[in-house]
A and B are shown apart, each in its own frame.
Chain A
Amino acid sequence: MDERDGHRGKNRPARSGSTIQGMPSPAKPPASSSSTTETPTTGDVGKHEGEGDTAKAEAAKSDRASSEPSLSLEWAPDSRITMDFTGPPLELPDELEADEPRRPSEAAPLTLDLDELDEDEGALGLVQQTRKSHSALDLVAEMAERYALDDFTGALRISELVLGRDPDHPDARRIAGESRRRLEHLYTSRLGGLARIPSIALPDADLRWLGLDHRAGFILSRVDGQNTIDELVDISGMPKLEALKTLVELLDVGAIRLA
């Protein structure tokens, strides 16, 4: 079932910063057979598969490629990836401007000698304990993005991941609660209200051919043509959202009909 609430086809903004110039980046061979015939051009380094960068971005990259060091990937017929640097040699500027953001290749190399750190300052410990990991930060952004796109299932799933790490995360709590509410409403609407009474729509022999899991099988076993959807939710022993979702799935596969 489409869990993205009818927004699956919606255009999502391309992720900025996914194309990194001038530094080695993990890359993998194209997955589909058609893409194996394409020859990547200089400047496609690190491009995520299927992200569809705009033509404008492509042109800008092309311009930069002539003046900046970059990495070129080539898809070799023997299915091995070859890499080489092209462009002018690396040069360090005379003076670094502190506030100006730089690409890693432009910045002075930083070295950290752990032995020089004073243990009493607790610098390492401080970073380890309080700083959120990059993945957590990304999850929060992803969660907000999914929610903004009305992908409540995705937003709920990610918010639960975030809450797993930080149970008091205010945004995650808000988005989780709101996503649940919106999804419940959506599923309830699909079922035509909680007062509807489902009944089995297929003979026993045909039910077995449906690809149901045991949870759907359980809900199906509670359907007796007498209990309302509301009552089925009560007796399912599942969270309300899951029970409603399962009922929608059963309706979609034709296992139940509603009166």
Chain B
Amino acid sequence: MEKVIGIDLGTFNSCVAVVEGGTPVVIANRGGYKVTPSMVAVTEAGKRLVGHIAKRQAVTNAENTVYAAKRLIGRKFDSAQVKQAMATCPYRIVEGPHGDCRIQLRDKPYSVAEISAMILQEMKMIAEDYLGHEVSKAVVTVPAYFNDGQRQATKDAGTIAGLDVIRIINEPTAAALAYGFGKNIDRTVAVYDLGGGTFDISILEISSSGVFKVISTAGDTFLGGEDFDQRIIDWLVQGFQDEHGIDLRQDRMALQRLKDAAEKAKCELSAVNETEVNLPFIISSARNEALHLQRVLTRAQLEDLTEDLVQRTVQICEMTLDEAGLEKDEIEDVVLVGGMTRMPAVQRAVSGFFEREPTKGVHPDEVVALGASIQAAALVDDSPEMDMVLLDVTPHTLGIMVVGGYFEELIAQNTTVPTSRTKPFTTVRDNQTAVKILVLQGESRRAEDNELLGEFVLTGLRRAPAGEVTIDVTFEINADGIVSVHARDVETGKEQSITVTATSGLTQDEIDDMMTDAQDYAVARRADEVAEGAKQQAQTLIAEIEKLFPEVEAVVAGSDFGRDAIEKARTVVERARSLMERNDAAGLREQIEALARTQRMFKGVVGKTA
């Protein structure tokens, strides 16, 4: 059975998991970390960096390091969210050829899907390294509020990365899936997700029959762990300024170190009551003296610095419950998702608001990826234990524009899909023979504030006074989330329809080209890894041989016996060095055998005389 991986493509961190022997497991990356920063950078030399390595240079190479690309995926360049990102991101966001947004890294504009594809490709490679074979299918999670365009763009990102995204599922659904997997429970749960850059709260119903249904979801796309880090940075910077009169924010290297140290201190304070931030040689003074930063931060201080941020999440929880028409006591369990939920102050706020302790059974960083992997396994595994139904809801209200520029709702937000609804409308002018149907998505009463999904015209209406011709408009969403809209003249039976095809803002040709680039990158990267492995192997062998040279020389000293072997060994070592210098990977791989033989021979000689 083919392995299908589950990927939590997060705003700030991503995670990949797979079900093995009926148990979902998170796969660690090369560095041993189970989460990988969703960051991509291009260095001055044009090299692509993804993950931790990109994060470690994010401040010093800020203009060419992309983070939180997820906030931009599937959005139009002129949208409010993109404008907000442009005001806060250090990298350049430019307009794409189809009104989409692109990110300029060095001299090349990249589509947002392409950037996300680089992260997905990294996750794919992590999984392949672990599984030992190629992976071609995945289930990817997205926030519950993502619209069709954003979901399609995420799918396109998967395609570019060489992954067939067989299902897109909502993050809270995935979290609930991991939480409820194998438990056979009927519960209403709240999923409180405070990640690196976003906050989401979702209410779900889980049934013992394996049905997971999102009732309501809300959040703040600009509230997360980095805001907490920023408070610590500000505190450190202010303290240093008071002591030395130097603003560390003016120096990128200092700022990068502060950012790393702030995140580390924040994490440590979830487990201990105080921590020391120690940054030697943080900056040089005007007199060229190296200055050090050393301060103790307590948990109480951190909680004081970030109290308002925690309170904001509580307010959003309150609003979401109101919208769902639920009381706090109707929530039977609270699932915590995201690294920030390890903070004791956050846990206290959540338990205080929901008046119950959050569940401890799931790992906040891994739970979404684990849920995605469970869904992935369920899609390819027919066994009864993997039998489950995920009922997603429409993330936004769907409707049409009516006279006066107003938005008329047909399918309400958070309606479970698949669904269908028909509503009658009438003409507004005498002898009106045609009607234009504008299909919109959004929550505003004004049509222009919502997103236009498509439009079509129904012609050939009977000439009659205003209000006498009735047109039935039907919205239908199938299990795959595809929206189709029909308009029918009730009297004549004339009909016109449209299927709303979500677009990511990329053409098929563009996607194909990006796929080729991604494949080339993957091939080159694998070749580099092989070459690097050969280099390290050669270096180890050379070091061992050189260590043995004096002993071998001592053994053969005073006789000619073995002198030529020593000379040959030197030649082998020199040749390997020369191949390494020339980056001749193929030659080096061949030379490794000669090095290994030499090493064995030397060990044998020394071993016999020992």
Contacts and interface: CB of A to CB of B under 8 A. Distances in A.
Interface of A: 192-193, 195-196, 204, 207-208, 211-218, 220-222, 226-227, 231, 234-237, 239-240
The 10 closest A-B pairs by CB, nearest first: A217-B281, A237-B60, A235-B57, A218-B253, A235-B56, A214-B284, A214-B283, A212-B281, A195-B535, A234-B43
B284 A222 contact: no
Given A214-B254, A221-B260, A204 B280 contact: yes
B488 interface: no
Contact of B257 (A192, A218, A226, A231): A218
Contacts of B56: 222, 227, 235
B256 A193 contact: no
Interface stretch (B45-53, B76-84, B122-130, B385-393): B45-53
8 contacts: A195-B539, A212-B280, A212-B290, A214-B284, A217-B279, A236-B57, A236-B60, A237-B59
Contacts of A196: 539
B60 A214 contact: no
A208 B53 CA distance: 26
A237 B49 CA distance: 13
B278 interface: yes
Given A208-B280, A221-B257, A236-B60, 16 more contacts: A207-B280, A212-B281, A212-B290, A214-B254, A217-B279, A217-B290, A218-B253, A218-B254, A218-B256, A220-B280, A227-B53, A231-B53, A234-B53, A236-B57, A237-B57, A237-B59
Contacts of B254: 214, 218
Contacts of B57: 234-237
B512 interface: no
Nearest to B577: A193
For the residues of A in contact with B, the DSSP-based class is helix
Contacts of B53: 227, 231, 234-235
Contact of B45 (A226, A227, A240): A240
Contacts of B121: none
A214 B45 contact: no
B97 interface: no
Interface string B302-334: 000000000000000000000000000000000
Interface in B274-295: 278-284, 288, 290-292
A222 B55 CA distance: 11
A191 to B, nearest CB: 12
B220 to A, nearest CB: 31
Contact of A217 (B49, B252, B280): B280
Contacts of B281: 212-214, 216-218, 220
A164 B580 CA distance: 36
Interface in B237-260: 251-254, 256-257, 260
Interface string B546-586: 00000000000000000000000000000000001000000
A212 to B, nearest CB: 5
Given A214-B283, A222-B56, A226-B31, A234 B47 contact: yes
B532 interface: yes
Which among B44, B61, B281, B535 has the highest number of chain A CB atoms within 10 Å?
B281
Contacts of B282: 214, 217
B580 A193 contact: yes
A226 B291 CA distance: 27
A161 to B, nearest CB: 22
B247 to A, nearest CB: 14
A183 to B, nearest CB: 16
Interface string B510-549: 0000000000000000000000100110010000000000
A1 B292 CA distance: 24
A255 to B, nearest CB: 10
Nearest to A192: B539
Residue in A193, A195, A214, A216 whose Cβ sees the most chain B Cβ within 10 Å? A214
Contacts of A195: 532, 535-536, 539
Nearest to A219: B253
Nearest to B283: A214
A234 B60 CA distance: 10
A215 B281 CA distance: 8
B278 A215 contact: no
Contacts of B283: 214
Contacts of A213: 281, 284, 288, 290
Nearest to A235: B57
A237 B61 contact: yes
A235 B44 CA distance: 10
Quick one: which of B49, B53, B260, B532 has the most chain A CB within 10 A? B53
A129 to B, nearest CB: 35
A204 B276 CA distance: 12
Contacts of A204: 278, 280
Contacts of A217: 279-282, 290
Nearest to B44: A239
B390 to A, nearest CB: 38
Contact of B253 (A193, A215, A231): A215
Determine which residue in B44, B57, B253, B284 has the highest number of CB atoms from chain A within 10 A of its CB, and name it.
Answer: B253
Contacts of B49: 234-235
Nearest to A237: B60
Contacts of A211: 290
Contacts of B280: 204, 207-208, 212, 217, 220
Contacts of A212: 280-281, 290
Given A195-B532, A212-B281, A237 B252 contact: yes
B502 to A, nearest CB: 37
A220 B254 CA distance: 12
